[in-house]
Structure 1
């Protein structure tokens, strides 16, 4: 049995959210692998990004395996497609046994699909609202 890499994080989808998360983790010294189906998307990463890049369709398990999912501890799925994000989260949990799984969801109603799982949802819209409320209360913005 392969040991889980304590630092390996896979980020799927180089949206603004995905590229920012990958860059921050890379700055912190984590072992980061990013996956996107469009090679142009990798230009969103800063020059300081020191992780690995995999071009391919994440729905192909060969692409996930090329990224090292068998030994990854964390996967963060940030494509613009909720259904793909949920499916990759489930594949990561039930086929590969990834410990920490986060998926971006734009539709809050889809949270019901994650209720009986250990997959955590990230809702950019709700995070933006929380930040706006904090600013309106006079609290400083999160950095």
Structure 2
């Protein structure tokens, strides 16, 4: 997906960063949400893809899955002193267990993050955390929307 195809809208917020990312599928919307977070942290035009790591998360809701995945990307990049440029979902699975009326959904997501060593020149904003506050996953007008608030 080219930069022009990424659909992200940054919303007004008093002290933090909030955005909505769009996609034809949940996976694409989450990839765009990851890009919005990466773009908040560093200038993607100044980054390469020399480093990569795999992310795997499970959750009981798509909101949880979004926050957990973005949080994992943030913590792994921080621990390894990387600025990330791209995230690609490689597997997404929904499992339903239990009897009718008492079903329990579980979501599994695997993906690969690409980036390069953090440099002062590329850095923009220090993101402390990905929060559940105002987190949302829904379909709107035939598109998937992932809304996330970043604590800065």
TM-score, normalised by the number of residues in structure 2: 0.25
Q: Point out which structure has higher relative CO (alpha carbons under 8 A, 6+ apart).
A: 2
Instruction: Kindly indicate which of the two structures has a greater share of residues assigned to strand.
Output: 2
Q: Which is helix-richer, 1 or 2?
A: 1
